């Protein structure tokens, strides 16, 4: 038996295994509309055996996009376009979640392969950005400090997108509070220098995240799980530390959150020691302190390495990012390497093991 291929139940949703596709920006939309790129990108990973596939950071408002080419979920046309992707992923016996996001001061930037870098000017389709404080991320334009009214609008914006996500058929909502985007900007003392109820103490800096989760949970069906992605450390002595974020995760448990997806960094430049599984200890610590199920991500590449994360109790699920770009069928390969017999249309998977070949591809299972 492999822990990677054991099902995981969150509320009324049973995800067939614990190998999940991490959210990865695609920068390939026009006016926030998902299209054939998202269908093929997410659909291929569903075919490849991932139990849950998560969309790219999906903006809740136009000004919340990281780049002008980001996908969104702020109108019904986008909802209907996402429904096509959701239906195909479901047809491959996989679950699908949407990562809802607002980029804050890191919005309106050029996509990575553009010739220019930094903030996109209005003449090229950019816009003025918003943040907790009027302090720029290095290399980007200075944002406007959000007014109390603008802060109060954020939970409603996430809730409206979550309602559309349910209408589109998504199984999971993930609230993006990591990588230096808006909710992380409020959490971190490196980017939040407000003096009102949303700044200063750790409790005040966490207030907007908790209010946003409450607003999402209020419109999201009781039987469907909510996940929150956090950066467990800012990798700086004057920034968030893992126990700070673990305390927030513990509080999230009382606000209807079902799993914490643990990443790191992004709110400010920092020296990060990167290596295989370098973020796994943070997932373990958040899990230990908060009592919440966690997901681990970050240079997890081999099946044996991924399996060991779960065996060690460091996390409850493993999320793959760049490795999944290189190999859309990584779960099927992992099952073979770990000795798990993936099912086919003529031979179900062994009891309790959630991995199977699509009928069209099952010749690949013949040895």
In degrees and rounded to multiples of 5, residue 5 shows phi and psi of -110, 20
Token digits of residue 145: 């400090």
- Whether the predicted pLDDT of 142 surpasses 90: yes
Indicate the helix (H) or strand (E) that contains 167.
Answer: helix 148-168
- Whether the predicted pLDDT of 350 surpasses 80: no
Dihedral of the alpha carbons of 234, 256, 212, 22, in degrees to the nearest 10 = 50
The per-residue pLDDT for range 299-327, each reduced to its tens digit, is 999 999 999 999 999 999 999 999 999 99
- Whether the predicted pLDDT of 1 surpasses 90: no
CB 177 within 8 A of CB 229: yes
Task: Say how far apart CA 37 and CA 60 lie, in whole Å.
Answer: 20
Determine the average pLDDT of the residues in 142-160.
98
- Whether the predicted pLDDT of 345 surpasses 80: no
Residue with tokens 């591809």: 361
Task: Give DSSP secondary structure letters for 51-77.
Answer: SEEEEEEEESSGGG-SSTT--B-SSHH
Q: What is the pLDDT of residue 364?
A: 86
Q: What is the pLDDT of residue 348?
A: 73
Catalytic residue status for 27: no
Task: Say how far apart CA 156 and CA 309 lie, in whole Å.
Answer: 37
Task: Say how far apart CA 23 and CA 42 lie, in whole Å.
Answer: 10
pTM of this prediction exceeds 0.95: yes
Task: Say how far apart CA 179 and CA 279 lie, in whole Å.
Answer: 13
Q: What is the pLDDT of residue 367?
A: 63
Report percent pLDDT > 90 for the chain: 94
Task: Give DSSP secondary structure letters for 237-251.
Answer: TTS--HHHHHHHHHH
The per-residue pLDDT for range 238-251, each reduced to its tens digit, is 999 999 999 999 99
Closest CA to 105 of 203, 193, 227, 230: 193
Task: Say how far apart CA 147 and CA 160 lie, in whole Å.
Answer: 20
Fold annotation for 3-365: TIM Barrel (3.20.20)
Catalytic residue among 27, 110, 181, 198: 181
Would you call 28 helix, strand, or coil by DSSP?
Answer: coil
Residue with tokens 């490196």: 190
Task: Say how far apart CA 356 and CA 58 lie, in whole Å.
Answer: 29
């Amino acid at each position: 038996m492999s822990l990677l291929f054991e099902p995981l139940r969150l509320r009324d949703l049973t995800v067939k295994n614990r190998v999940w596709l991490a959210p990865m920006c695609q920068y390939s939309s026009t006016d926030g509309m998902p299209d054939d790129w998202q269908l093929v990108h997410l659909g291929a990973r569903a075919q490849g055996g991932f139990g849950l596939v998560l969309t790219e950071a999906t903006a809740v408002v136009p000004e919340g996009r990281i780049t002008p080419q980001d996908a969104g979920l702020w109108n019904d046309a986008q909802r209907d376009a996402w429904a096509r992707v959701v239906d195909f992923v479901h047809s491959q016996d996989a679950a699908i979640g949407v990562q809802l996001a607002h980029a804050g001061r890191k919005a309106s930037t050029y996509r990575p392969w553009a010739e220019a870098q930094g903030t996109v000017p209005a003449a090229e389709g950019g816009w003025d950005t918003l943040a907790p404080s009027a302090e720029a991320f290095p290399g980007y334009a200075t944002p406007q400090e959000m007014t109390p009214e603008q802060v109060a609008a954020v939970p409603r914006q996430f809730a409206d997108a979550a309602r559309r996500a349910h209408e589109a058929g998504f199984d999971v909502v993930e609230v993006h509070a990591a990588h230096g985007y808006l909710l992380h900007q409020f959490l971190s003392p490196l980017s939040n220098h407000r003096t009102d109820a949303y700044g200063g103490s750790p409790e005040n800096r966490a207030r907007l995240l908790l209010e946003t989760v409450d607003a999402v949970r209020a419109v999201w069906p009781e039987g469907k799980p909510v996940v929150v992605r956090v950066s467990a450390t800012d990798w700086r002595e004057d920034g968030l530390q893992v126990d700070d974020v673990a305390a927030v995760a513990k509080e999230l448990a009382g606000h209807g959150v079902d799993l914490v997806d643990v990443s790191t960094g992004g709110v400010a430049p920092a020296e990060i020691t990167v290596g295989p599984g370098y973020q796994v200890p943070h997932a373990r610590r958040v899990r230990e302190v908060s009592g919440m199920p966690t997901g681990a991500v970050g240079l997890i590449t081999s099946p044996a390495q991924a399996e060991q994360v779960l065996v060690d109790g460091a996390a409850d699920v493993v999320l793959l990012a760049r490795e999944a770009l290189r190999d859309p069928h990584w779960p099927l390969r992992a099952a073979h390497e770990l000795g798990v017999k993936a099912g086919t249309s003529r031979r179900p998977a062994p009891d309790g093991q959630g991995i199977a070949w699509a009928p069209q591809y099952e010749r690949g299972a013949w040895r």
